Amino acid sequence: MRIFGGIESGGTKWDCAIGTGPDDVRTAATVPTTTPEETIGRVVDFFEREGPVDALGIGSFGPIDARVGSPTWGFVTTTPKPGWSNTDVGQEIQRRLGVPVAFDTDVNAAALGEHRWGAGCGLSSLWYVTVGTGIGGGAIVDGRLLHGLSHPEFGHLRVPHDRRADPFAGLCPFHGDCLEGLASGTALEARWGVPATELGDDAAWALEARYLALGFVAVVAVLSPERIVVGGGVGRRAGLLMLVRRELSALMNGYLGFELPDDYITAPALGARSGVLGAFALAATASAPM
Amino acid sequence: MRIFGGIESGGTKWDCAIGTGPDDVRTAATVPTTTPEETIGRVVDFFEREGPVDALGIGSFGPIDARVGSPTWGFVTTTPKPGWSNTDVGQEIQRRLGVPVAFDTDVNAAALGEHRWGAGCGLSSLWYVTVGTGIGGGAIVDGRLLHGLSHPEFGHLRVPHDRRADPFAGLCPFHGDCLEGLASGTALEARWGVPATELGDDAAWALEARYLALGFVAVVAVLSPERIVVGGGVGRRAGLLMLVRRELSALMNGYLGFELPDDYITAPALGARSGVLGAFALAATASAPM
């Protein structure tokens, strides 16, 4: 049996694990995100010390270049995160560990994890969205990860923004009031002056649910997945998904000719481990180093 | 070689053809959309007179029930078109002609036609959108038609709507100012007082391009297709696609890390025949009558 390494790399920390699936995680570690050199160095140390692994999957924060064969495959590209713009992650780790590496977005890894072992088991399609510091989405279609021209950039969708009801301008450096600019954890904290975890105001959460539901209207309108799985720190807020389901149903207004199932919008069954476990499943698809 | 029947059914006319592909259309006819009984009767007459065919594909206006095995498979469901709500089309035609029938949306048929023989040849993914009386979209992913919980309902996406710049309220009976409610040919005529074909005002077309580009941001954000093919009467407007490309590029604002290709948004290579020819390709997937 092949042993996989999994990495979910984020803007604040990198989760690393070695194993074969949710019931067989042999060792795990978390490395804080500092400079690329230091962070990647520590991650490589972990796998050299705890390995070997037969293949490695990386679910990365983005945007990234996941186009196999591209000269910048494995790079984090235009991220606003200081020091990380146009940074080689996948090629560097592949070179230093000398094992096949599969490189995809964090949300694609999580979508794969939830489809393989979690809330999407047995479904042919699902949409995974994380609502945390940022907002991102990934999809399974016909049982496989969706790839196209690039990868989905769900956070950068435009949604209706009533500036009288919500004068907050949005904080995406590229787009201002895109979905991420209005509804990410960062946006919540900037708008309300308290971290999302401490935000108690019902009206604030009703507005958040409204924006997420507007985003999910786009997911249903374009992709029509069988289920939407919502992860991330903000997504875990108690009661939020019920509000979002209600808003989505109101926004669809019966147009589909049937009601969306009660569990259409649901929490990840793997909790916060969807990404790093999904990275195991990614690793299984990795081809040998070039 | 199997001979296929193809139908593209629309709110104003049904295009019917018999053949095997774009270079082998043996006979074709157009039937005006009147009552279901009369329209379906004339269509069945055509295939009885000009056939036989080995299988039939129907690309239908919607929304529809395309879920194989559903009791209402083959039905047009909640359409606002008078007399056509909850109407059996696919089962009725299958029963009367006694051949295998594949039933899908008009835009899915067109997407299939463009992928097989048109602007999407050789691509792994594409998005087909029609902008005419209504607005609808369909997708090819990994070379296959996208199906999920239901089918895409692109027209019912919500886009930012600045009521000061555009006080038109939108005319979708379900959603008011969804994309279709703001940017369909019907909406253009209601807003500007002249049919879209006679509309010459540059500002009107700039607004139209803006709305379509906002819709395409959602397509890129959720599905990231390799190409977007725009059909339909409004979509054919000279110069419109160039305006939409420019708006889309401005809205993405460099976030993808690369520019969208110049031909990213393009006209259908099969012209107005994408749907009826795609219905041949649909027919090839039909299974025997139940």
Q: B59 vs A68, which has greater pLDDT?
A: B59
Partners of B32 in the β-ladder: B13
Q: Do B141 and A148 touch (CB under 8 A)?
A: yes
Size of interface A-B (CB pairs under 8 A): 161
Nearest chain B residue to A254, by CA: B174
Strand A126-131 and strand A228-231: pairing? Answer: parallel
Q: Do B152 and A224 touch (CB under 8 A)?
A: yes
- What's the rounded mean pLDDT across residues B51-76? 93
pLDDT of chain A, 290 residues: tens digit per residue: 899 999 999 988 999 999 999 999 999 999 999 999 999 999 999 999 998 999 999 999 888 999 889 999 999 998 878 899 999 999 999 999 999 999 999 999 999 999 999 999 999 999 999 999 899 999 999 999 998 887 778 999 999 999 999 999 999 999 999 999 999 999 999 999 999 999 999 999 999 999 999 999 999 999 999 999 999 999 999 899 999 999 999 999 887 777 888 899 999 999 999 999 999 999 999 876 54
Q: Angle between the A274-283 and A106-117 helix axes, to the nearest 10 degrees?
A: 90
Give the DSSP H/E element, type plus range, for residue B228: strand B228-231
CA–CA separation, A266 vs B119, rounded Å?
38
pLDDT value of position A289: 53
pLDDT value of position A209: 98
Q: Is the dihedral of CA B116, B117, B121, B126 positive or negative?
A: negative
Q: Do A222 and B161 touch (CB under 8 A)?
A: no
pLDDT at B52 over 60: yes
SS3 content of chain A, % helix, strand, coil (to 5): 35, 20, 45
Q: Using one digit for the tens of pLDDT, what is the confidence trace for A206-223? A: 999 999 999 999 999 999
Contacts B250 to A, Cβ<8 Å: none
pLDDT value of position B279: 98
Contacts B149 to A, Cβ<8 Å: 125, 220, 224-226, 260, 264
Interface of A with B in 126-155 (CB under 8 A): 127, 137, 139, 141-142, 144, 146-155
Interface of B with A in 44-103 (CB under 8 A): 63, 65, 77-78
Q: Do B141 and A146 touch (CB under 8 A)?
A: yes
Residue with tokens 């999957």: A57
State the smallest CA–CA distance between residue A135 and chain B in angstroms.
11
State the smallest CA–CA distance between residue A289 and chain B in angstroms.
25
pLDDT band at B289 (very low <50, low <70, confident <90, very high): low
Type of residue at B263: D
Cα–chain center distance at A106: 4
pLDDT band at B232 (very low <50, low <70, confident <90, very high): very high
Residue with tokens 């290709």: B261
Q: Which of A161, A255, A265 to mutate to test the interface with B (most CBs of B within 10 A)?
A: A255
CA–CA separation, B211 vs B45, rounded Å?
41
pLDDT at B247 over 80: yes
Among A155, A222, A251, beta carbon nearest to B158: A251
CA–CA separation, B159 vs B172, rounded Å?
13
pLDDT value of position B67: 87
pLDDT value of position A290: 47
| Mean residue pLDDT across chain A | 94
Q: Do B150 and A224 touch (CB under 8 A)?
A: yes
Contacts B247 to A, Cβ<8 Å: none
Residue A99 backbone class (left: φ over 0; alpha: ψ -120 to 50; beta: rest): beta
Strand B228-231 and strand B101-105: pairing? Answer: unpaired
CA–CA separation, A88 vs A72, rounded Å?
7
Nearest chain B residue to A210, by CA: B158
Type of residue at B49: R
Residue A221's contacts (CB-CB under 8 Å, 6 or more residues apart) are B137, B152, B153, B154, B155, B156, B157, B218
Q: Is A255 on the interface with B (CB under 8 A)?
A: yes
Type of residue at A267: A
Strand B13-21 and strand B24-32: pairing? Answer: antiparallel
Residue B224 backbone class (left: φ over 0; alpha: ψ -120 to 50; beta: rest): left
State the smallest CA–CA distance between residue A176 and chain B in angstroms.
11
pLDDT value of position B55: 97
Contacts B256 to A, Cβ<8 Å: 63, 78, 150, 153
Type of residue at A251: L
Cis peptide before B289 (omega within 30 of 0): no
Number of Cβ atoms within 10 Å of the Cβ of A262? 9
Q: Do A257 and B153 touch (CB under 8 A)?
A: no
Please state the pTM of the whole predicted model.
0.93
pLDDT value of position A79: 81
State the smallest CA–CA distance between residue B47 and chain A in angstroms.
30
Nearest chain B residue to A77, by CA: B257
- The secondary structure of residue B197, as a DSSP letter, is G
CA–CA separation, A137 vs A133, rounded Å?
13
Please choose, from the candidates B136, B268, B157, B173, the residue with its C-alpha nearest in 3D space to the C-alpha of residue B211. B157
Q: Using one digit for the tens of pLDDT, what is the confidence trace for B16-29? A: 999 999 999 999 99
Q: Assess contact for A217 and A251: CB atoms under 8 A.
A: yes
Please choose, from the candidates B130, B113, B119, B138, the residue with its C-alpha nearest in 3D space to the C-alpha of residue B277. B113
Q: Angle between the B202-222 and B240-252 helix axes, to the nearest 10 degrees?
A: 50
CA–CA separation, B179 vs B174, rounded Å?
12
CA–CA separation, B264 vs B78, rounded Å?
33
- The number of CA neighbours under 13 Å toward the Cβ of B142 is 11
Contacts B125 to A, Cβ<8 Å: 147-149
Q: Which of A85, A222, A245 to mutate to test the interface with B (most CBs of B within 10 A)?
A: A222
State the smallest CA–CA distance between residue B231 and chain A in angstroms.
17
Q: Using one digit for the tens of pLDDT, what is the confidence trace for B212-228? A: 999 999 999 999 999 99
Q: Using one digit for the tens of pLDDT, what is the confidence trace for B89-99? A: 999 999 999 99
Among B124, B141, B217, beta carbon nearest to A157: B217
How high is the ipTM of this complex? 0.92
Type of residue at A117: W
Interface of A with B in 198-217 (CB under 8 A): 214, 217
CA–CA separation, A5 vs A55, rounded Å?
6
Among B77, B125, B175, beta carbon nearest to A257: B77
Type of residue at A178: C
Contacts A219 to B, Cβ<8 Å: 222
Structure tokens at A200: 């108690």
CA–CA separation, B267 vs B27, rounded Å?
25
Q: Do B222 and A220 touch (CB under 8 A)?
A: no
Q: Do B222 and A219 touch (CB under 8 A)?
A: yes
Cα–chain center distance at A246: 23
CA–CA separation, B245 vs B262, rounded Å?
8
Q: How many residues are listed for chain A in this entry?
A: 290
